[in-house]
Structure 1
Amino acid sequence: MIHVLFVCLGNICRSPMAEAMFRKRVEDEGLSEHFVIDSAGIGGWHQGSPPHEGTRKLLDEKGISYEGMTARQIRDEDITTYDYIIAMDAENVGALRSIAGYGKHHFIGRLLDFVEDDDRDDVPDPYYTGNFEEVHDLIETGIDRFLTYVKKEKHL
């Protein structure tokens, strides 16, 4: 199994959007049996809450399920459990690397690290910008490239 964890600041906007979109993409490609997919936040401010209204609205418009998703904070064991910990921005990566320390862990990086033909490094937080459509488009490109990378690396 390939364990993938998407991470943003509070786990209500970007990372649940990425989780839902990646899950759908994996299902559409008939690869669900190869993946465990989840999301988490650096902070626990929204723990137990559903995705943000803007995220829910956008996912509804795109026909992507977020049923049963609730925010949670990253846990120490996530660092060693997940093969790929995909953050939305550099601050998230820094926090994750602080949590991970020098122990054993797998890939920790930004989603847009997989998008080489785009100058942007970070997925902006729509909690502050309100631009959920831009975030969707960036995440869509990022997960497409990430899945291509994983399929090649894992020979799927």
Structure 2
Amino acid sequence: MGNICRSPSAEGVFRRLVKDAGLSDVVRIESAATHAFHLGEPPDARAQAAARKRGYDIGECRARQVRPEDFREFDMILAMDWDNLSLLQQQSPKQYQHKLMLLMRFANEYEEATVPDPYYGGPEGFSKVLDYIEDACQGLLEVVRKRATQYQAA
């Protein structure tokens, strides 16, 4: 929603996985908000602390809102929960609706459909969010790796 908790955490996790996989030159990763609550702000200090504990640096991220051109420029636009997915569906032109999905669709270990918002809870919520995100990003990496391999072969 505000691009200060879940989405910059996912950006940081996925950025590291993509780098480790040697795909940084072909995969573009950005996080964005569906609301304009925190534009220009860094991630929540609790999200940064939880990420740092696992070796991710998300401190350079700055909140931005989804732009109309994002729907055209990105191959996938992943939402953390049903409310944000619905907002993205309302904003997206019809020809790009197929790009919209929930991040947890790529999870292998956790069966939850969405990543819960940790903003109003304690530190344990941020840790749980990272558990979900790490799982889903591992699955997402497999999909992206296949697409990147097909793209490079073409």
Name the TM-score, length of structure 1 as normaliser. Answer: 0.88
Is 1:27 matched up with 2:19?
A: yes
Decide whether the 8 Å contact of 2:78 with 2:101 is kept in 1: yes
Contact 2:48 2:59 in 1 (8 A): no
Alignment of 1:1-156 (within 5 A): 9-104=1-96, 106-115=98-107, 118-130=110-122, 131-155=125-149
Distance 1:100 1:137, change over 3 A: same
Deviation at 1:77, TM superposition (A): 1.0
3-state SS in 1 of match to 2:32: strand
Q: What is the identity percentage for the equivalent residue pairs of Structure 1 and Structure 2?
A: 37
Distance 1:120 1:54 in 2: 22
Task: Give, in whole Å, the separation in 1 of the partners of 2:108 and 2:58.
Answer: 29
Judge conservation of contact 1:80–1:106 (CA < 8 Å) in 2: no
Shift of 1:132: 0.4
The Cα of 1:34 is off from its aligned counterpart by 1.1
Distance in 1 (CA, whole Å) between partners of 2:96 and 2:61 is 28
Residue 148 to residue 55, structure 1, CA distance change in 2 (3 Å): same
